[in-house]
């Protein structure tokens, strides 16, 4: 083989392997940061993986919020009006967090079927509902009439 061809081949192979390595690292990083959204029905039907970071959303069930007086532990139920999921969160809840309101929580399912949230996001006004929650409620055919009347729509 001609030395000039050999040198070109080595350079081309180096570029191809370098590009493949870069693409592989990017794909690995993106895979680690993807948080898929699941509704309470998806979670009850065990479509949500255990011990994997996901986002779950729904409405906070009236009368379900239980706060520990000695710590920042909060337990409440989240529903899409078809199924309920128990959520456990340790920390300060957003100011707009209320019973009967839409939320999106980020965390993972534990082996007991409880959603261990690390972050809870609440809606920011009376006409807003997180897009994923609104879509899940519409899909289940369970969008509350008062929310429809107020014009709640995903933005």
Residues placed in the known binding site: 124, 128
CA distance 68 to 63: 15
Q: Which positions make up the binding site for heme? A: 124, 128
């Amino acid at each position: 083989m001609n030395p000039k061809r050999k040198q070109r081949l080595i350079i081309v192979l180096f570029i191809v392997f370098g590009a493949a390595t870069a693409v592989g690292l990017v794909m690995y990083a993106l895979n680690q940061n993807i948080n898929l959204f699941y509704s309470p029905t998806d979670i009850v039907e065990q479509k949500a993986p255990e011990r994997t970071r996901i986002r779950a959303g729904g409405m906070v069930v009236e009368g379900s919020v239980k706060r520990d007086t000695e710590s920042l532990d909060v337990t409440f139920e989240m529903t899409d009006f078809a199924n309920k999921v128990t959520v456990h969160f340790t920390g300060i809840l957003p100011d707009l967090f209320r019973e009967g309101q839409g939320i999106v929580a980020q965390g993972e399912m534990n082996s007991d079927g409880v959603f261990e949230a690390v972050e809870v996001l609440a809606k920011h006004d009376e006409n807003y509902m997180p897009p994923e929650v609104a879509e899940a409620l519409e899909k289940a055919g369970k969008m509350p009439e008062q929310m429809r009347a107020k014009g709640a729509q995903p933005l």
